[in-house]
Amino acid sequence: MNYLGLSREKLYPTVEELNRLLANYHLYYQNLRNVHWNIEGENFFDLHEQFEELYDDAKEKIDDIAERILTLRFRPLSQMSEYLSRADIEEAGYLNTDREMVDMVLDNHKMIIANMRQVLDAADAISDEGTIDMVGGFLADLEKRSWMLDAWKARVLEGQPA
């Protein structure tokens, strides 16, 4: 049944971008777990908590993205090999400092933000307001979180306590 009033053919580009966003979020989530577990030093308490908040948020968004793809009557990617092959984000290796960790997170944000904008463009082309609303909210939230991390980084780089 086509309860959305959108054809599968027209939805396909949006779903492709949503699946890429799903893959990017999975790699981002794992990168956040990496830095959450491995943060050390004077900024441990601030960043350990911040990274946990970010991965909890990412986990929720992963579910929302997958459920949106299902709502559109497509199948979300669900295997790690698919995520690794489709994501723009790469697995982070060992990072030595809190600044390297924040830089990596901000780089991941940059890729996810670009992907979100591509989802929005594809969804806008077919008036898929449900996807536009969901991803638009995600975008505003991630932009704000990026600003906060960037402000922390600027403060730390100036030599002020975080």
In a domain, 1, yes or no: no
pLDDT reported for residue 155 = 73
**Residue for token pair 């944000």:** 109
In a domain, 48, yes or no: yes
In a domain, 74, yes or no: yes
In a domain, 127, yes or no: yes
In a domain, 43, yes or no: yes
Nearest to 131 by CA among 115, 144, 145: 115
pLDDT reported for residue 9 = 94
If one counts the domains in the chain, the total is 1
- Residue 83 domain boundaries: 8-157
pLDDT reported for residue 3 = 80
Specify whether the CB–CB gap between 22 and 69 falls below 8 A.
yes
pLDDT reported for residue 2 = 73
Please state at what angle helix 8-38 crosses helix 44-71, rounded to 10 degrees. 160
pLDDT reported for residue 160 = 58
Domain with residue 26: its CATH number is 1.20.1260.10
In a domain, 162, yes or no: no
Nearest to 91 by CA among 17, 154, 5, 26: 26
In a domain, 3, yes or no: no
The overall pTM is greater than 0.85: yes
Per-residue pLDDT 10s for the chain (162 aa) are: 578 888 899 999 999 999 999 999 999 999 999 999 999 999 999 999 999 999 999 999 999 999 999 999 999 999 999 999 999 999 999 999 999 999 999 999 999 999 999 999 999 999 999 999 999 999 999 999 999 999 998 876 666 555
Taking residue 90's Cβ as centre, other Cβ atoms within 10 Å add up to 13
In a domain, 138, yes or no: yes
